[in-house]
Structure 1
């Protein structure tokens, strides 16, 4: 365990009200202690580190200057909000971060009044802050909307949609652009800090308003020219012309670690009649922790680590990760097919496409946080004869559902969707769980949907997708390591819509048939062992495809078994719903067949260890056994039980 740092000043601050009692010359010490506390906490719990360290001074300055929580502060994505949590009454619980029953790794409305809006996906903050600002304006009550958004999140179109609609909010909306990676601004120095203070000052804004009043008396053409001259002059000195065109008054760039600059600029903005206003701050990810400064990507999200040495706790050696297996399989396909290309939306290492990019830089595309664009870009590539693999986390593909429908499925274009982080994801909780992809994809005509039961199946499915040119195809796989099965030297091309029997037979009578899709296959086999020990002959099938279903296999199993149970790591409306529909359409339920569907519960599950999450969801072997035994005890009138 890392030693906790000495934090005498931070110890006096429980909420921002306490912070605002400090003198301005104490803030730098407070920031230093807050940074040390953040490092100590994440060293013990793991989580996001570099992004939070980059906004320590900004966090202190915002809470010092603005009247939070009346002024509604929204952190885009939220993984940089650990310092914010420490300052807003949650310090004592910080070492429960990302654990079962503990604090979320993101902002969460149910956690604190200082978290007015839940964020974990990117680029939502400006829209939400605008909503808060306009609601207060309509009600005639105090309170601003303050959005802190990173330059990476500004690559998403939603941020610009919000800015284009923001002018009506006036000075109640403040956007702070945290530029920490893309370096969209020139280097920050004394001149830019001076200019920021100058153009945000009351004197400058007062003179500007006087000039505007004078300009209104001029002919319209001269009014337009005067406005353009003002924007051009400030744009030449400071940048920000794009934001001015969207209706924002631009201030910056300024050093996001210089409290002597941050505080007076924020005070000027707080008191300004001008608005909406965008403040451009430049920060350094990992600021103040040498290891994170030198390797911002490595220390963005970390395991538990030694604060002194920076060494992260390594997981015990085991099977390769599903992500790594996919990357290796895709590279192998691309080595003999120069039409294969890969697209990711700002997650090259998370999806394994960083390795693909190293091997094939001309065929790899990171489009930024822009999933909608990624999908339609892939559709264009496919329409022109390429074989694109669009690798996106399940939870992020939700953001591009319309593009999947309109630009891919309706046109029947052969886009390959590699869906990482399918199923429950542990510490990231409900916002990142891949619960819905089978449900929302398998409803679409022309779509093929596969789910890998293990890493060997993932290799086969990558190969199958590469060769599938007759329409869109998706394959899903979980976070974490594989099961340890041997990887095939030569991948197989799977027959579309055909499953496999992995235990028992579909040709002889049995008591129980378990129809699994995805990585619940291992638990299904464990359940089969227990059922066989109770004298119940059990067949286990890996359906492989949620769409199209292997109707021949399912029909045979339904006709030869008394109880059929579907098992999937997805929401209601997925495999089970499709199997029930098929059975109903074919009249297979009329003979008293007992069908049960096992799936994720109809709730958003909080963070915990994945094995515990699946136990709570009722998708482990003991619950499968209980479901079968309950069905067998039920009378055979054909009435179906609804699984709680």
Structure 2
């Protein structure tokens, strides 16, 4: 049961201005009600739960202290933003989270002025907040840039690149480090809370500024010694020496669930005349909801669940997920070959490499949110003779494209890319869709690009990757479960660049890449019923193409259609180029390409997304019949009858 909780105080708050009208002693009750509303809403919709529960008090304090939306609040990744959405005019829609036509599960500029910057990929918040802060400074207008970044996101180099540049913003930039997992600080207690309030206070900063002015009159050696003594003293007491070296004034650690501690510190930092500041806040993922506190990993992202028991809705039993099939296939390969190892970037369970790590702990590497490093690390392993599998979501591999080009492809190193979440991904929406990997990989010399049509094909392709030592190779596969096809007992090594004919016909040829094959076969059934003999080919490879098969199909059929789960510039573009190079275009070839539309699609159920993208069986049939109607008289007459 997910009955709505009683929230008399939260009911009075629609906008942050309403929140600021409350008395400080009312804020604890407001935070409690806000937490219950988040639990209730996510119980209905599913989504990210633990991270949002961990920042309820922090979200309340930020909107209470700062002048949002004039002060620009940027949430790193944005998956923890549900409490923020409730407090910024969107509570009436919070039970539409991640649904078709509903609220995004991340921050989104088009949704609210309180979402000044969209995210969903990690470690971008400091750069964006710095941009807002400097823009306000240049315009001579008030307004701060506030970045809330998790400790895990600090493993990405981009965060440090931004901090290295932060002096440009002066005191307009505030970074809040949400430390909820890494335990990079001593336990928070009364002493650390007192120190945080002290070193962020006007009195302390005023004395510190006076000491600085006096120190400048000292000989340079004594001046430098005084400066370092100040930094060392605060670093010893509270940590933060690294941030100080990057030019930040460090405050913390602060208990992120204690509003009596949070609000004075935020107020002090808001009013400080110092330069950029970093506040170290310690929180607990899943705070206030026992099931999420007990299993933060399982409640990071959840299905719909019963609020009372915490029991998540389970999908009906069915075929294994593509992720599980990949993990099991890779484990089987690793048992046969000691040189196989696996790398992921902070997504061990999402990519299935947690299972691999249990079987081969010394050959599994989670490098944190550092995709660039993951790819070049894999390149180094490959250069030394190992057989690395770099398992990264399609959308996250985009972050390492330069490394794929320069460190892998140019050197022709046999790095194996396992690209999960290829194609459209449903509730996670446009930021997580794997739309572009065919395009950005198949354009590279030396690269082999495969796409699995079903789970059995994925097993064959993992084996093919393991055996391929002639350069980089990639296999892409979607989110979700397989089709339930029989699984091979012994995997087959596929011939590079060779497709397969799944169904033989004479008039229409459908050239499929990836899991659109099922829809292609459904379309063929409809076309056959209309009197159109249809061939269906599973190309298997986007690069290299099976040129012999494609040429035969294009020259022996009246209409040919390519279909793929990728953006323009992928398979269809390569087939068109091949047809042009072969001179087939000049012979009146009827070739149509079906691919994702040139838009960023919002979240919805995957089947709805693909229907909207015109990549389902009905769209294939319509594409074929439309092409035939434009043919010369007599061609396709069976379809028109």
- What TM-score range do you get, normalising by the shorter chain? over 0.9
**1:80-123 deviation digits (Å, cap 9, x = unpaired):** 00000000000000000000000000000000000000010000
Q: CA deviation at 1:222?
A: 2.0
Name the residue aligned to 1:124: 124
Aligned to 2:585: 589
Q: TM-score, normalised by structure 1?
A: 0.98
Report what 2:208 is aligned to: 208
Q: 1:463 matched to which residue of 2?
A: 463
In structure 2, the residue corresponding to 1:299 is in which secondary structure? Answer: coil
CA distance, structure 1, for counterparts of residue 360 and residue 429 of structure 2: 34
Alpha-carbon distance, 1:588 to partner: 1.0
Cα displacement (A) at 1:635: 3.4
Counterpart secondary structure, 2:431: helix
Work out which of the residue numbers 552, 557, 562 in structure 2 matches 1:556.
Answer: 552
Compute the displacement of 1:225 (Å): 1.4
The question of 1:351 aligning with 2:351 is answered yes
Distance in 1 between the 2:187 and 2:336 partners? 45
What's the CA shift string for 1:229-263, capped at 9, x where partnerless?
A: 11000000000000000000000001000000000
Would you say the 8 A contact 1:593–1:636 is kept in 2? no
Tell me the SS of whatever aligns to 1:432: coil
3-state SS of 2:210 partner: helix
**What is the rounded CA distance, in whole Å, between the counterparts of 2:125 and 2:222 in structure 1?**
37
Query: How far apart in 1 are the matches of 2:68 and 2:74?
Result: 11
Q: Determine if contact 1:566/1:598 at 8 Å carries over to the other structure.
A: yes
Give the superposed CA RMSD: 0.7
Of residues 49-58 and 588-597 in structure 1, the stretch that sits farther from structure 2 once superposed is: 588-597
- 1:579 and 2:578 aligned: no
1:641 corresponding residue in structure 2: none
Shift of 1:217: 1.0
Partner of 1:611: 607
Q: How does 1:12-91 map to 2 (within 5 A)?
A: 12-91=12-91
The residue correspondences of 1:617-628 to structure 2 (distance < 5 A) are 617-628=613-624
CA contact (8 A) 1:514 1:538 kept: yes
**Unaligned runs of at least 5 residues, structure 2:** 634-641
> How far apart are the structure 1 equivalents of 2:253 and 2:575?
57
Distance in 2, matches of 1:527 and 1:602, equals 23
What CA distance in whole angstroms lies between the structure 2 residues aligned with 1:202 and 1:594? 75
Q: Cα deviations across residues 48-73 of structure 1 (Å, max 9, x unaligned)?
A: 00000000000000000000000000
Tell me the secondary structure at the aligned position of residue 233 of structure 1: helix
Write the distance in 2 (CA, Å) between the matches of 1:350 and 1:224.
49
Q: Which residue of 2 aligns with 1:527?
A: 523
* Matched residues, number: 633
Instruction: State the secondary structure of the residue aligned to 1:430.
Output: coil
Using the size of structure 2 for normalisation, the TM-score is 0.98
2:596 maps to what in 1?
600
Q: What is the CA–CA distance in structure 2 between the aligned matches of 1:570 and 1:632, rounded to whole Å?
A: 25
Map of 1:566 onto structure 2: 562
1:431 counterpart SS class = coil
The reply to whether residue 172 of structure 1 matches residue 203 of structure 2 is no
2:439 and 2:224 map into 1 onto residues whose CA distance is 53
Distance 2:279 2:525 in 1: 62
> 1:48 & 1:71 partners in 2: Cα distance?
26
SS in 2 for 1:119: coil
The match for 1:436 is 436
CA contact (8 A) 1:428 1:607 kept: yes
User: 2:145 maps to which residue?
Assistant: 145
Q: What corresponds to 1:545 in structure 2?
A: 541
Counterpart in the other structure of 1:113: 113
Q: What whole-Å deviation, never above 9, does each CA across 1:307-337 have from its counterpart, x for those lacking one?
A: 0000000000000000000000000000010
Structure 2 residue aligned with 1:642? none
- Whether the aligned pair in 2 keeps the contact of 1:409 and 1:444 (CA below 8 Å) is yes
Take 1:557 and 1:209, find their aligned partners in 2: how far apart are those partners?
Answer: 78
C-alpha separation between the residues in 1 aligned to 2:463 and 2:388? 13
What does 1:38-437 align with in structure 2 at a 5 Å threshold?
38-437=38-437
Deviation at 1:275, TM superposition (A): 1.8
Distance (whole Å) between structure 2 residues aligned to residue 214 and residue 586 of structure 1: 80
Is the contact made by 1:594 and 1:636 (CA closer than 8 Å) also made in structure 2? no
Cα displacement (A) at 1:184 = 0.7
State the 1:636 CA deviation: 5.0
Q: 1:601-627: CA deviations, max 9, x gaps?
A: 000000000000000000000100000
> In 1, distance between residues paired with 2:51 and 2:631?
58
Hey, what's the Cα distance between the residues in 1 that align with 2:130 and 2:236? 28
Distance 2:456 2:226 in 1: 67
Residues 347-367 of structure 1: CA distance to partner in whole angstroms, max 9, x if unpaired?
000000000000000000000
Distance 2:608 2:461 in 1: 28
Does the Cα contact within 8 Å between 1:592 and 1:636 map onto a contact in 2? no
Structure 2 counterparts to residues 495-534 of structure 1, below 5 A: 495-504=495-504, 510-534=506-530
Q: Could you say if the C-alpha distance between residues 406 and 636 of structure 1 is closer, same or farther in structure 2, counting changes exceeding 3 Å?
A: farther
Cα distance in structure 2, aligned partners of 1:223 and 1:408: 49
1:224 Cα deviation from its structure 2 partner: 1.6
Distance 2:88 2:484 in 1: 44
Q: Distance in 1 between matches of 2:610 and 2:191?
A: 56
- Aligned twin of 2:477: 477
Q: Which runs of 5+ in 1 are unaligned?
A: 638-644
How far does residue 220 in structure 1 lie from its aligned partner after superposition?
2.1
Cα deviation, 1:582-603, whole Å, max 9, x if unaligned, reads 0000101111110000000000
- In the other structure, the counterpart of 1:640 is none
Q: Which moved more, 1:27-36 or 1:214-223?
A: 214-223
The answer to whether the Cα contact below 8 Å between 1:52 and 1:81 also exists between their aligned partners in 2 is: yes
Separation (CA, whole Å) in 1 of partners of 2:237 and 2:361: 37
